[in-house]
Amino acid sequence: LLQQFRKNMPQSIRFAKNPELIVETHALKSLSAFLFQRLRWAGKLSHIQNARLKMISAFVWLQRAMLPITLILLAVQASFFLFEILAGALLLQWMANYFLQVKANRFYDTKSWKKWFIPVEIAHAFYYLALGILSFLPMERNWKGRKA
């Protein structure tokens, strides 16, 4: 739907950063429901027509997958060069994510997020890698009783 708006009325899409416009939804009841929702969303990326959006999505996935991929390579072939790549990539990624989280948590008035930052960053890297790979597998995705 958003792609149709972007195609037919490109100037009609705006971001409204206003706390009064926040929409909240209930959390899904199970981990499997959450994962299938994310797989459904990730599977939609293959239908995006805009080459720029596809390139950005691919870049973000590769950047987020850097931690697990480099750790796997380090386990296979210990190398100081690979360690330097890992350290540099993590430093850049975590700095960018940290400053983004500072702004987001200030906007949402969330106080106790910092203690979870590094554990969540590590877990998210593996989750993101797995989700990206699984989204390309031929699996049926249902949503609200319909094939998605």
Query: pLDDT tens, position by position, for the chain (148 residues)?
Result: 677 777 788 777 777 888 888 888 888 889 888 888 888 888 777 777 778 888 888 888 888 887 788 888 888 888 888 888 888 888 888 899 999 999 999 998 888 899 999 999 888 888 888 888 888 777 776 666 666 5
Structure tokens at 128: 């993101």
Residues 95, 77: Cα–Cα separation, whole Å: 27
Report the predicted TM-score, pTM, of the whole model to 2 decimal places. 0.69
Specify whether the CB–CB gap between 3 and 49 falls below 8 A: yes
146 backbone dihedrals φ, ψ, rounded to 5°: -115, 155
Amino acid sitting at position 89: A
* Cβ contacts of 147 within 8 Å, gap of 6 or more: 140, 141
Structure tokens at 93: 């990624």
Residue (of 138, 129, 130) closest to 46 by Cα position: 138
Residues 4, 99: Cα–Cα separation, whole Å: 33
Residues 25, 35: Cα–Cα separation, whole Å: 16
